[in-house]
A and B are shown apart, each in its own frame.
Chain A
Amino acid sequence: MNGAPNPSFDPRIASWLEDDPATAPAQVLETVIASIPSIPQRRAALRVPWSVSRMYTFARALVGVAVVAIVAGGLILASLRSPATVGGPSVTPSPPAGPSSATTATYSPGPLDGTWSATFSGTEAGFKSGAIDPRGVGTWKLVFGPSPQGSAFVPSVITLHPGTQLAAGSAALIEYLPGGVVQVAADPGVGGCSTPGTYHYVLTGTTVVLTLTGSGDSCLGRAAVMTAHPWIKTIP
């Protein structure tokens, strides 16, 4: 084993790789530029604010004591409110209220709230048996947030796409289930899905990239749209 060049085979690999495309489709850059305003940059290091750095030692000590007191008070309160949690808090995040709690007075923001974008070529599964469907070409959006229909306190997802009604419903109520699962309700609208669908959701890239997976949706068109691409958050 030496990794030495192979005079007969290496040029063949190089030639083959050279023939592949070298230019990105325009929508790649467009999506990146559109998403940047909603994505904060990470700072290299936490800097001490000017006002704090000039504080006297005694004042800084007071601030430190106050912080410790607040944290300790919070921990005591938390332990008093959850006496059954012996062994530490649960690692399962509690999902926000779903459609079943429609009478709740205030809207509980969900982990997916915001606008997410993905660029489709129109040839993904479910689009007219794999043929290119011009109605599906372009940038699709998923908008998670308060329901635009009925109660404004119920979380929902709207699928916005460049063409007419195609594969996914125009709007649907959602419910966050334990274990990182979101359930999309049936969409009674014309061309909508008649059954609910469930998806696992994973947020990466400091929660600006959403990946939906899973086969818990019998509405194949909706499933194709939801799972074909990672979704990039473009509006928080």
Chain B
Amino acid sequence: MDRAAAGDRDAFSALAAATVDRCYALAYRILRDPYRAQDATQQALIGAWQDLPTLRDLDRFDAWLYRLVVNACYIEIRSDRRRAARVRVLTLDADRSADPATGVADRDALDHAFRSLTPEQRAVVVSHHYLGYPLTEIAENLGIPVGTARSRLHYAVRQLRAVLDSDARNVATSQEQSA
């Protein structure tokens, strides 16, 4: 990492290779779109290359890179709202339909509910429930007060449940009407 910070491109390439999957996994879960996740990952890693010499404590690299990815995701979400509508073909994953624990309908419902969250709420939910970070660490990594992180998580989960309940009621109503 010292060599990468000193401008060694090969060293940074190795560093990028070691971290690109983690970056992409985080970006994908926040953005829910493979293409935007690729863009955010690229922007975060390029930002890491540019600013690595300014990172005072290299031991904090992981947390710093995490923040770069989250910020790149924020930019992606906001820039996409300004962009013209895009049409993308969603491919069905055969493994998902075979998953007995979490069915396709359940995944789709969660996906729909998650998309109703703000970018900031998404980042906290993914950090807590996927990366397993405690709220104190999330707050430190994102540069926000612990109370703000706790609040975002609380309202995010409440929002998820509200949307899921609403969707379930709509499905029940339409089934009753068709019966």
Is B174's CB within 8 Å of the partner chain A?
no
B161 to chain A: closest residue by CB: A9
Q: Which parts of B142-164 form the interface with A (CB within 8 Å)?
A: 150-151, 153-155, 157, 160-161
Q: Are A16 and B46 in contact (CB under 8 A)?
A: no
Chain A residues, Cβ within 8 Å of B160: 9, 13
Contact with A along B75-105 (1 / 0, CB 8 A): 1000100111111110000001001011000
Partner pick for B50 among A1, A205, A228, CB 8 A cutoff: A205
* CB-CB under 8 A for A17 and B130, given A36-B13, A215-B84: yes
B47 touches A205 (CB 8 A): yes
Q: A12-B110, A32-B45, A125-B87 are in contact. Are A20 and B50 (CB under 8 A)?
A: no
C-alpha gap A224/B85 in the complex (Å): 10
The size of the chain B interface, using a CB distance under 8 A, is 60
**Could you tell me the distance between the alpha carbons of A164 and B25 in the complex, rounded to whole angstroms?**
33
Q: How far is the CB of A200 from chain B (nearest CB, A)?
A: 9
- The closest CB in chain A to the CB of B86 belongs to A125
Least Cβ–Cβ distance between A204 and chain B, in angstroms: 8
Which A residue sits closest to B160, measured CB to CB? A13
B12-65 residues with Cβ-Cβ distance < 8 A to A are: 12-13, 16-17, 20-21, 23-25, 28-29, 34-35, 38-39, 41-43, 45-47, 49-54, 56
Partner of B29, one of A17, A41, A132: A17
A23 CB within 8 Å of chain B: yes
Smallest beta-carbon distance A59→chain B, Å: 30
Task: State whether A130 touches B88 (Cβ < 8 A).
Answer: yes
Whole-angstrom distance from the CB of A121 to the nearest CB of chain B? Answer: 6
CB nearest to B37 among chain A residues: A24
Cβ-defined partner of B49 (8 Å) among A41, A211, A223, A228: A41
Contact A2 B17 (CB under 8 A): no
User: Which residues between 41 and 67 of chain A lie within 8 Å of chain B, taking CB atoms?
Assistant: 41-44
Residue in B closest to A26 when the chains form the complex, CB atoms? B20
Q: Are A206 and B23 in contact (CB under 8 A)?
A: no
> Is A24 a contact of B89 with CB atoms below 8 Å?
no
Q: How far is the CB of B34 from chain A (nearest CB, A)?
A: 7
Known: A16-B107, A223-B84. A36 touches B42 (CB 8 A): no
- The complex places the Cα of A13 from the Cα of B85 at a distance, in Å, of 29
With a cutoff of 8 Å between Cβ atoms, the chain B residues found around residue A24 in the complex are: 20-21, 23-25, 38, 41
Chain B contacts of A214 at CB under 8 A? 84
Beyond A13-B125, A20-B28, A209-B43, whether A2 also contacts B21 by CB under 8 A is no
User: Contact at B150–A2, with CB atoms within 8 Å?
Assistant: yes
User: Is A232 an interface position by the 8 A CB rule?
Assistant: yes
How far is B139's CA from A87's CA once the two chains are assembled, in angstroms?
Answer: 45
A208 to B49 Cα, complex, angstroms: 12
Asked if B53 and A19 make an inter-chain contact with CB atoms under 8 angstroms apart, the answer reads no
| Known A3-B150, A124-B88; contact A28-B24, beta-carbon cutoff 8 A | yes
Residues of B that sit less than 8 Å from A by CB: 7, 9, 12-13, 16-17, 20-21, 23-25, 28-29, 34-35, 38-39, 41-43, 45-47, 49-54, 56, 75, 79, 82-89, 96, 99, 101-102, 106-107, 110, 125-126, 129-130, 135, 150-151, 153-155, 157, 160-161
Known contacts A10-B129, A230-B79, then 15 further A-B pairs from the complex at CB < 8 Å, ordered by chain A residue: A2-B150, A14-B129, A21-B34, A23-B25, A24-B23, A39-B46, A42-B54, A123-B88, A124-B86, A205-B47, A208-B46, A211-B79, A213-B82, A223-B84, A228-B35
